Structure 1
């Protein structure tokens, strides 16, 4: 069992359930590591936040009548491979965070399912799932190194970007292959 404090946990105690009270926070958190199964943010090998790389949070916590409204940004570096040419790719993303964490015994908590909206627990909000969702849900299904990536040649498997414009493969109808062997 780890004795390390949870870096995704933010205290809301100083907001005191008084609507209109606001505070800001910035924090840099290492991305979940490869030592935890299914902990990666994204799809490893396709496009994901590399384990241990920094996720920078710039947040605002605002007390509202039903809970704590968290807004701000999460910045991370992504690494993966192009879905057409299989080259390595990397990019930096800045995702918007906007989430209401319901107070215990609030009307919002009573009228929503437990998995529908996050909750304030022991005067803390846990932002891991919120940040994970913000980054992962905005990832492309088929990442590209560039919009016009030509991909790989289906015949030889070479990158089309490296091949000349006159690159071609002779295609012979298999029905004529036996005749060609006799003539050569």
Structure 2
């Protein structure tokens, strides 16, 4: 059984009945986005309140865990903590909410158990940045050589020659700068010839 599945039989169905859940679980797969998330087998802390309401069980509280990933600009490793706030209704099987809601619109109670996993996955993914940065002004990688620009120094650069002008550079190098090979420059007026 998934560590995110909670048995709610002790809660009963009387509206207003509540219980607290404090536990640390781990998941066999990472939770988050491509560049950052809670790694597989990491501790995830659940601090939740389960309250029986007319239509089901209302789950509120926090879920937190340590994150790991890499900077979207320079690809350096980074980490931190994510804390998300859950407010999810799990509908009783015979409730009006269950009968009038589409399958994907609401969570449901199954055999007196609620499964928090999808709610946690969705909440964590929405809270994490799509493009995490090691710091807001990260300069990223050099587009020519791939070196980290923060480590390369301010004088790092590459001479980039437009391929359309490359042949002219070869000509200038062969003749020397300013040399045209034309020795008739002295034949003009005032040259003395």
Q: TM-score range by the shorter chain?
A: 0.7 to 0.9
Q: Could you tell me the TM-score, scaled by structure 1's length?
A: 0.88
Check whether the contact 2:82–2:128 (CA below 8 A) recurs between aligned residues. Answer: no
* 1:35-50 superposed matches below 5 A: 40-44=30-34, 46-50=35-39
Instruction: Report the Cα distance in structure 1 between the residues aligned to 2:144 and 2:100, rounded to whole angstroms.
Output: 58
Deviations along 1:74-105, one digit per CA (max 9) or x if unpaired, are: 11111111110010111111111110000111
Larger radius of gyration: 2
For residue 174 of structure 1, give the secondary structure of its aligned residue in structure 2: coil
Instruction: Report the Cα distance in structure 1 between the residues aligned to 2:147 and 2:67, rounded to whole angstroms.
Output: 25
Q: How many pairs does the alignment contain?
A: 173
RMSD (Å) for aligned C-alpha atoms: 1.5
- Residue 82, structure 1, aligned to residue 71, structure 2: yes
Runs of 4+ in 1 over 6 A off after TM superposition: none
For residue 130 of structure 2, give the secondary structure of its aligned residue in structure 1: coil
Match of 2:108 in 1: 119
* 1:65-144 superposed matches below 5 A: 65-144=54-133
Match of 2:43 among 43, 54, 79: 54
Any gaps of 5 or more consecutive residues in structure 1?
34-39
